[in-house]
Structure 1
Amino acid sequence: MKFDLSKMYEKLLSWITTNGFKLVIGLILLYIGWKIINKVIKILANIMKSRNVDPTLTSFAEAFSEVSLKVLLVITLMSYVGFDIAGLAALIASAGLAVGLALQGSLSNFAGGVIILLLRPFRVNDFIEASGYSGTVERITVFYTHLVTPDNKEILIPNGTLANGSLINYSSNDTRRVDLVFSVGYDDDIIKVKNVLWDIINKNELILKTPEAFVGISQHAASSIDFTVRVWTKQEDYWKVHFSLLEEVKLRFDEENITIPYPQMDVTLTK
């Protein structure tokens, strides 16, 4: 099949001559409409926030409304300029299978967003771990969930992946358990070690009394006796307790002359 470039050029020139003015007006309206939609979306988001609407619903509704309004704007202006929208729709329908395959990932992500919105496996501001990444949920859009890592990196995970895969929600419960292991030498008094650990736990105001904490020997290792410490705290205090215990135990062990063993290798030289 040969293309007559001269005829195509004549048709294009004829279309521009006929619809050129509308095309210019359409581009101007597109710019103005785009700005108005952005403003409306911001107003909608502020209204929802002022009425204490769930942030998860707010972020998804904001993204869905923005996409819908902008697609509607583009279709309307294409019709105004002179594009055959009915013919375009028929062309898309006739190529339905190919379009469906091309949009399969996007449709899956959209459906995943709806599932997340309905089932609420996590919410905005929850700290989750999924697909090998962990971070705080910043917002949930039509196709992606945005996470912010503790070192302030933004990660986009497809909604379809989150809806169909496994994830850990560290914020779903009010309390979390801090699990730590402390090693001491075989020559140390294990009763003294337990008393020191319990004293540290009882003096830490961020550690909850209920559920009760646990301190016990978990392993006789090659060069150490390992004590497992399990304490409960509020979800928002998890890392404070984690780091404070590590520091306090080291300081107290030094004060009490409790040794913290480290790997050693004896080398014997023979002549």
Structure 2
Amino acid sequence: MEALFNQYKDQVILWAAKNGTNLIVALIILIVGHWLAKRISHLLQKAMQHKGMDLLLINFIRGVAYYAIMAAVFIAVAAQVGIDTTSFLAILGSVGLAVGLAMKDNLSNFSSGVMLVLFRPFTFGDFVDVAGVSGSVVAINLFHTELKSPDNQRIIIPNSLIMGQVITNVTGNATRRIDMVFGIGYGDDIAKARDVIIAALESEAKVLKDPAYTVAVSELADSSVNFVVRPWVATADYWDVRFRLTESIKLALEANGISIPFPQRDVHIIQPAQA
């Protein structure tokens, strides 16, 4: 056993003496190449930011550039240690084909990520509904997209699931319409109720004048006359204005003696006739 160890030890020492310089150079190439990949990708990011490019596109291109440079570095390292790069590339291509077939879902995610970056149905910070979940866009990576839910959960979605379904960009436009319904009693004055609702809308500073809001009777329901109230607001003000109007319109209707019906049921008890 000791003789076998000594035999291989001598071979290792001989190989190291013969190829030590190449190994050192290969290690230097790897270290310098890794530093250059990080440096170049960082400079590329800075240049794209200076041009005002979209943040999601910047992050995506930076990732692709980094991995492309590192692939070239590994090929240079292989050549330095004596591996035939022609054969190496052929073997790598064969392995890549096999891996590609085994990882077709990841390739689909990658191609979907490219499509998301090119066509940009949403960008950083947009609030979207995709693949059955909702959240603000944090990042588009090579294989997945990251969202942050309103209650601060981190949501990771494969890119292929996003491109294969309907994408709703909730904050994609500068303005949004708030759709609200208020019901009044059948015995209440419709014209007065309309004036009260309009006054509440006019008193809300963040309701836009253009497009104009809509206040109209939409339905004669089972227990109420329903008004649709549809003001337009800046997208960033949507929820604040919606919450305030819900409260202010209810209080205004009550202050003016206009009832707001709620579902109720009358129960009639019939006593059986006495024998």
TM-score by shorter chain over 0.5: yes
Tell me the equivalent position of 1:203. Answer: 203
Q: Which amino acid aligns with 2:142?
A: V
* C-alpha separation in 2, matches of 1:243 and 1:90: 64
Where in structure 1 are there 5+ consecutive unaligned residues? 1-9
Identity of paired residues, percent? 36
Tell me the equivalent position of 2:236. Answer: 236
* C-alpha separation in 1, matches of 2:170 and 2:197: 26
Tell me the equivalent position of 1:90. Answer: 90
- Stretch deviating more after TM superposition (147-156 or 63-72): 63-72
* C-alpha separation in 1, matches of 2:268 and 2:78: 85
Q: Deviations over 1:125-161 (max 9, x none)?
A: 2222111112222222222222222222222222233
* C-alpha separation in 1, matches of 2:103 and 2:265: 60
Tell me the equivalent position of 2:4. Answer: none
Alignment partner of 1:182: what SS? strand
* C-alpha separation in 1, matches of 2:124 and 2:116: 11
Alignment of 1:168-183 (within 5 A): 168-183=168-183
Conservation of the 8 A alpha-carbon contact between 2:48 and 2:58: yes
Q: Which amino acid aligns with 2:58?
A: T
Alignment of 1:69-218 (within 5 A): 69-77=69-77, 80=80, 87=87, 89-94=89-94, 98-218=98-218
When the two structures are superposed, what TM-score results if normalisation uses the length of structure 2? 0.77
Conservation of the 8 A alpha-carbon contact between 2:29 and 2:73: no
Tell me the equivalent position of 1:264. Answer: 264
Tell me the equivalent position of 1:247. Answer: 247
Q: CA deviation at 1:52?
A: 2.4
Matched pairs, number = 263
Alignment of 1:21-32 (within 5 A): none
Q: CA deviation at 1:266?
A: 3.7
Q: Which amino acid aligns with 2:126?
A: D
RMSD: 3.5
Q: CA deviation at 1:16?
A: 10
Alignment partner of 1:172: what SS? coil
**Cα gap change, 1:180 to 1:14, in 2 (>3 Å):** farther
Tell me the equivalent position of 1:5. Answer: none
Q: Which amino acid aligns with 1:58?
A: I
Structure whose CA Rg is larger: 2
Alignment partner of 2:177: what SS? strand
* C-alpha separation in 1, matches of 2:227 and 2:53: 46
* C-alpha separation in 2, matches of 1:24 and 1:182: 78
Q: Deviations over 1:230-266 (max 9, x none)?
A: 1111222222221111121122123223222222234
- Stretch deviating more after TM superposition (205-214 or 65-74): 65-74
Q: CA deviation at 1:53?
A: 2.4
- Stretch deviating more after TM superposition (54-63 or 156-165): 156-165
Where in structure 2 are there 5+ consecutive unaligned residues? 1-6
- Stretch deviating more after TM superposition (223-232 or 183-192): 183-192
* C-alpha separation in 1, matches of 2:162 and 2:27: 38
**Cα gap change, 1:269 to 1:106, in 2 (>3 Å):** same
Alignment partner of 2:168: what SS? strand
* C-alpha separation in 2, matches of 1:70 and 1:210: 54
- Stretch deviating more after TM superposition (16-25 or 80-89): 16-25
